[in-house]
């Protein structure tokens, strides 16, 4: 079961949703023209980390962003793991991942569970309340957001629920990019799954972002890796590899959850 996945390792216009939509339209077309079945966008691609203005620039119920992504996914017949957007609800603003399938249907919304205090997320955003599970290509998958990968128990929960591919969308700073790469490979190896991680590039008034988007196989092998500039990072993945690896080293059969 071969599929081509692309990662839109893009720069983000700070606090400018209209400009960012124009950029995403170009990335979706580029991925479609390149033969990708699925395109992944980075975290908070509509606004960047313009947190102090979230009340003004966030998308009510993520409705506009959802309509935008489902329209593009249908037009180009491509699945879009639509990064995340600032989603205004009656209780506040959440950092919400959106997934649209190639038929133009919204199949998942997941709001970031773990808020990153070092970038003041807890002052402006609400934590999520649900898991990141969804299905594409008749395969169970999951989507997590940036800081979530530092919590292996949260990642493992999704794999125990059946995820063979875990997508990660991020705005990971350049100064900690070595953590990004190490954590992602560890999550792939210990869970024997594909990890598909899209990070942004560029900078905002407070941060420089590190790129190095990754597509990692269930052995922990790097199938494709981005640089620190804008580019479409892509790789062909065979989803059947997950079961082969899990049979070779049956870690899930050997777990001892009665002790932990």
CATH number at residue 175: 3.60.110.10
Say what the pLDDT of residue 1 is.
76
167 φ, ψ (degrees, to nearest 5): -90, 140
Is the residue at 260 inside a domain? no
Long-range contact list for 65-68, CB < 8 A, 24+ apart?
65/98, 66/98, 66/100, 66/106, 66/109, 68/21, 68/24
Higher per-residue confidence, 152 vs 2: 152
Say what the pLDDT of residue 211 is.
98
| Domains of the chain: total | 1
What residue numbers bound the domain in which 80 lies? 2-249
Residue 226 near residue 7 (C-beta atoms within 8 A): yes
Per-residue pLDDT tens over the stretch 98-107? 999 999 999 9
**Longest distance between any two alpha carbons in the chain, whole Å:** 52
Is the residue at 51 inside a domain? yes
Set 36, 108, 121, 146: catalytic member: 146
Is the residue at 210 inside a domain? yes
Is the residue at 77 inside a domain? yes
Per-residue pLDDT tens over the stretch 63-82? 999 999 999 999 999 999 99
Set 36, 43, 164, 212: catalytic member: 43
Is the residue at 256 inside a domain? no
Per-residue pLDDT tens over the stretch 240-251? 999 999 999 999
Per-residue pLDDT tens over the stretch 181-208? 999 999 999 999 999 999 999 999 999 9
Is the residue at 259 inside a domain? no
Is the residue at 257 inside a domain? no
Q: Is 43 a catalytic residue?
A: yes
DSSP assignment letter at 127: P
224 φ, ψ (degrees, to nearest 5): -160, 145
What pTM was computed for the model?
0.98
Set 36, 108, 112, 171: catalytic member: 112
Is the residue at 86 inside a domain? yes
């Amino acid at each position: 079961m071969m599929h081509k996945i692309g990662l839109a390792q893009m720069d983000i216009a700070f606090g400018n949703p209209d400009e960012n939509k124009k950029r995403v339209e170009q990335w979706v077309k580029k991925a479609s023209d390149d033969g990708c079945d699925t395109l992944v966008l980075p975290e908070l691609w509509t606004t960047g980390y313009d947190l102090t203005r979230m009340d003004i620039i966030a998308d009510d119920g993520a409705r506009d962003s959802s309509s935008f992504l489902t329209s593009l996914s249908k037009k180009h017949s491509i699945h879009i793991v639509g990064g995340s957007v600032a989603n205004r609800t009656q209780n506040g603003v959440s950092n919400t991942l959106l997934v649209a399938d190639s038929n133009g249907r919204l199949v998942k919304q997941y709001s970031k569970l773990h808020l990153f205090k070092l970038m003041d997320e807890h002052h402006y955003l609400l934590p999520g309340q649900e898991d990141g599970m969804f299905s594409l290509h008749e395969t169970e998958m999951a989507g997590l957001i940036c800081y979530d990968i530092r919590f292996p128990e949260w990642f493992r929960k999704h794999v125990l629920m059946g995820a063979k591919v875990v997508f990660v969308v991020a705005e990971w700073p350049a100064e900690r990019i070595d953590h990004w790469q190490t954590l992602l490979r560890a999550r792939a190896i210990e869970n024997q799954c594909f990890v598909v991680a899209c990070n942004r590039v560029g900078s905002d008034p407070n941060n420089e972002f590190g790129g190095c988007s990754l597509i990692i196989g269930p052995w922990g092998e790097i199938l494709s890796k981005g640089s620190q500039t804008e580019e479409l990072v892509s790789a062909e993945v065979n989803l059947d590899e997950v079961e082969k690896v899990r049979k070779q080293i049956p870690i899930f059969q050997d777990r001892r959850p009665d002790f932990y």
